[in-house]
Structure formats: C-alpha cells, structure tokens
Amino acid sequence: FFKSIITVQNAIRRWIRGRKIHNLIKLQRTIIDDLKKQKLQILKEQADKTRIIITGAAYPVKRDDFYMLYLMVGDWWKKEWKKVCALKFPETKRTEAVALLTKEVQLLEAIEKNRIVGKQEALKKEKMRFLEQTSRPLAFKNRKGLMASIDNLETQRAREFKEIYSALFGNNILLSKDMIDVLITLKQAFLTHFMDYEYCNDLVSLIEQEIDLLSIGTKQYDLRGLHKRIEQLFMHFLQQKEFNTKASKYKKPNLPKTLHTLFLCIRCKKLLPASMFPVHVRMMSYSACKSCVWLQNIGYQRADMSPYLKLLKHVQNTEMEKCCHSAVCFILQPIGMCYLTNVIWHGHSAISECRDMSKLQHIRWQSDIEWAPWNTILLTDLEAKCHACIPNVLNFYGKTFIENVRRRHILARACFIPLLKMNHDISTSGVWSNIKDSGPFLHPSHAEIFASENEYDKV
C-alpha cells in the first residue's frame, strides 16, 4: 500500500516538474517571439522613415520636404563654391561665380514654384475636407449600442453643394457645355432659395458673365480670374451657418488680430500677434516673425532643424500619452533640443554611440519622473524600448555609466535654468493646469476668448 502511495506521489511530482519545464519553455518561446516582433517593428519603422525621406525629396508635399530641398541646394552651393575658390585666374573665378549665382537662383525659383503649387493643393484639400465633414449624416449610438445615422435635409443640401463644388472647382476638367449646365443649376439654386445671402446678386452676376463668355466660345483657361472669384464667393456662402448649419463646427475661426497686443516685426514691419513670433526661454523681446526667420534660414543660413523638431515632437507625444503634468517639454524649442542633443549628449547614443539621427530618440532616464533635459537619455529606438522596461536604472547600469549620465544631467540643469524657472512660474500660477482643449482649431493667442465662444464643446 505504501509503495503504491510513493509511486503515485513520485508520478505527481514528476508531472508537476514536467509542467513547470513546459511552462518555462513556453515562456522562453514567447519572449523570443516578442523580441523578434519588436525587432521587425523597429526595422519597419526605420524603413518607413527612410522611405519618407527619399519620397519627400523626390515628391515634395509637406513643408519639411521643401525644407530638405533647400538644404540640398545649400550643400550643393558649398561644394561648387569651393571649386570656384580653387580657380587661379580672377576673370574665370568671376565668371564661374556669376554662373553659380544664376544656377542657384534658378533652383530656388523652381523649388518656390513647386511649394506654391503644393500649398494651393493643400488649401483645396482642406476645402474639400470641410465640405466632406459638413455633408456627413448625424451618427450616434442607439439604446442597443448599435451605430445609427440620420440623413436630414441640412446634410442632403450640404451634399448637393459639395457635388456642385467638386464639379466646378475640382480636379476634373469639364467640357464647356457641362460647365454651363452646372453653372445654370447653381444660379437657379441661388435665385430660388438663397436670395437672403448678402452677396447673392454679385455671385449671380459673375455666374452669368461666365455663362455668356463660355457660350461664345471663350476658353476656360482665359476665365481663370472670373472662375476664382466665383469659387471664393461660393466658399464664403458655404461657410455661413445661416445656410450651412454645420459650418460653425468645422470652420476655422477668423478672429480679429486686435483682440490681443500686437508686436512689430523688425524686418517685414508688420504688426502681428505673439503667436506669429518664434519664442525661446532666453529671449527678452519679440524681434523677427516666423515668416522672416523662415526666409532667412532658407536663403542664407540653411540650418537643418528638422531632425531636432522630430525628436521634440516624439518627446511631447510620449509625455502626453503618459499624462505628464510638467510643461518643460512643451516650452522647449527645437533650438534647445539641438543644443541638448549635440552639445550635452554629443550627438550620439549613450550606449552604442550611434550617430544616425533618424534612429535616435530622447527618453526618460528614470521612468517614474517626468521628462526634462535633466532626466533624459539619448538612445536608439531598440535601446529605448529596452530601457523603458527597466524598473530601477540605478541597480541595472554600472557606476561609471551612471556617473557619466549624472554629469550630463547636471550640465543640462545648469544650461536650462531659464526653462526651469519658466516651468516653475507656469506651474505655481495655475496657468498650465487651467489649459483646456477647446476644439480642433484652438489658436494660441486667442485661447481664452475662443474657449468661451467655440461651439465644438457643446456637441
């Protein structure tokens, strides 16, 4: 009997041991699979970054893409200027310098033309997005938890306006007969239902002019100015809440500039609000606006700040996901991130010394303390993910490495004293804690007034 009990106990212990070993093997396989997935994800993100850089230079769309083209022109000019300076004869040097200047002007002019075209296309997409949002049916959850939608008369009318706008001012080129039919439909709609519109007579007269000119065989290319005036008046009509009830929810507010104090730009001599000036913690007064700084940078300095702007945005997005209560990363400017990365952290990873800016990111040194220049470490994407999983960095890293990081934190605290003071003033005054998101079109210089007038919160 006792032998049977011992046999059963040994079998149970053997089975428990086997289950533990099986669970450990399963855990090991899961960890290995997770690491492989993380590596593949990091490689995919790096490939996407490289693809965006290459396609951005070949097919520029965003402002950063054109900024990269200006930087490429600047690098090309420096190389060519060295060749010109290496020439011995002054006449040859003068001729080559003039040719180089002419070529540079041609390149800058071509980039600027493409930038203007891209800006016009972006504005057209913004208008179409506005029309798409106003023509959507009302969607809500019913009592059963299912999504339901209501297509009322207002959304149907907005959809008709969107179809007319896309037919007249879209990318599709209509024949003269089709254009005349659409213009007649628009004219009849205004004469029948929208005589209360303040510019109704002006819009109808412009439509009649275009119909008459098209009927006698005038080319559409020669009517671009008249067509543009009709488009502006029609878009102004669509943005009026009396005729398009959803317009007030999605229209970008056009608040007057005289609501707040205006400052003089010393270069363009324009009076602009504070939101139109680049700011940093060391400045004492407003000097040059953002547009003038942009022109100076692309025309003369051509300093590449886009990598540091991406680093700063990544830090801000990460801190917002963690519900950060500090304003340090939101006050810091790209020039400060450039100083922090290149001067304090020497432009490379603290562990692997990787200098590829597309693979680097700033992350919290101690994960339970909010990010700041004195609580950060510069690592690659893979190193940052591993560092974020460490519960106590003081027990994980060696003493030499910890002392090196601490020295850099002390240096950062000494260099960013104005940032520390400004964060303290904002936190103690209650300005930071009282900030509210008042809709998708919150303007920084009109925050308080727009927060009380915006109807987005009432939806």
What is the rounded CA–CA span in Å between residue 117 and residue 95? 33
Cβ neighbour number for residue 189 with a 10 Å cutoff: 14
Q: What is the pLDDT of residue 353?
A: 87
- pLDDT above 90 covers a percentage of the chain that reads 20
Q: What is the pLDDT of residue 257?
A: 53
Residues contacting 185, CB < 8 A, separation 6+: 164
Res. 447: pLDDT tops 70: no
Please give the structure tokens belonging to residue 434.
Answer: 């009282």
Q: What is the pLDDT of residue 275?
A: 78
At 436, is the pLDDT very low, low, confident or very high (cuts 50, 70, 90)?
low
Res. 57: pLDDT tops 80: no
Q: What is the pLDDT of residue 103?
A: 93
- Choose between 326 and 114: higher pLDDT: 114
What is the rounded average pLDDT of the residues 36-48?
84
Res. 238: pLDDT tops 50: yes
Q: What is the pLDDT of residue 377?
A: 94
- On whether the CB atoms of residues 349 and 358 are closer than 8 A, the answer is no
At 218, is the pLDDT very low, low, confident or very high (cuts 50, 70, 90)?
confident
At 97, is the pLDDT very low, low, confident or very high (cuts 50, 70, 90)?
very high
Which of these ranges, 90-94, 401-405, 416-420, has the smallest mean pLDDT?
416-420
- On whether the CB atoms of residues 375 and 365 are closer than 8 A, the answer is yes
The residues spanned by each domain of the chain are 1-53, 64-122, 152-249, 261-302, 304-429
Instruction: Enumerate helices (H) and strands (E) in the chain, giving the number of each.
Output: 17, 6
**Summary mean pLDDT of the chain:** 83
Burial class (CB in 10 A: 0-12, 13-18, 19+), 455: exposed
Q: What is the DSSP letter of 332?
A: -
Please give the structure tokens belonging to residue 234.
Answer: 């029609």
- pLDDT above 70 covers a percentage of the chain that reads 90
Q: What is the pLDDT of residue 449?
A: 37
Res. 439: pLDDT tops 70: no
What is the rounded average pLDDT of the residues 312-325?
87
Q: What is the pLDDT of residue 141?
A: 80
Q: What is the pLDDT of residue 253?
A: 58
What is the tens place of the pLDDT at every residue in 365-411? Answer: 998 889 999 999 999 988 998 898 888 888 899 999 999 999 999 99
Q: Which amino acid is at 420?
A: L
Which of these ranges, 213-217, 222-226, 254-258, has the smallest mean pLDDT?
254-258
Please give the sequence-ordered ranges of beta strands (E in DSSP) within 391-453, or none if there are none. none
Res. 345: pLDDT tops 90: yes
Q: What is the pLDDT of residue 100?
A: 92
Please give the sequence-ordered ranges of beta strands (E in DSSP) within 142-199, or none if there are none. 147-150
Chain Cα centroid distance, residue 83: 39
At 440, is the pLDDT very low, low, confident or very high (cuts 50, 70, 90)?
very low
At 298, is the pLDDT very low, low, confident or very high (cuts 50, 70, 90)?
confident
Q: What is the pLDDT of residue 434?
A: 61
Long-range contacts of 109-115 (CB under 8 A, 24+ apart): 111/66, 111/69, 111/70, 111/73, 114/60, 114/66, 115/60, 115/66
Task: Map residue 408 onto helix, strand or coil.
Answer: helix
Please give the structure tokens belonging to residue 205.
Answer: 């007269």
What is the rounded CA–CA span in Å between residue 439 and residue 447? 10
Burial class (CB in 10 A: 0-12, 13-18, 19+), 288: middle
What is the rounded CA–CA span in Å between residue 140 and residue 146? 8
Whole-prediction pTM: 0.67
Residue the block writes with tokens 């067509």: 227
Task: Map residue 363 onto helix, strand or coil.
Answer: strand
Instruction: Give the highest mean pLDDT range of 164-178, 260-274, 319-333, 403-417.
Output: 403-417
Please give the structure tokens belonging to residue 146.
Answer: 């299912």
Q: What is the pLDDT of residue 255?
A: 53
What is the rounded CA–CA span in Å between residue 237 and residue 195? 12
- On whether the CB atoms of residues 346 and 375 are closer than 8 A, the answer is no
What is the tens place of the pLDDT at every residue in 278-297? Answer: 877 667 778 889 888 888 88
- Choose between 175 and 213: higher pLDDT: 213
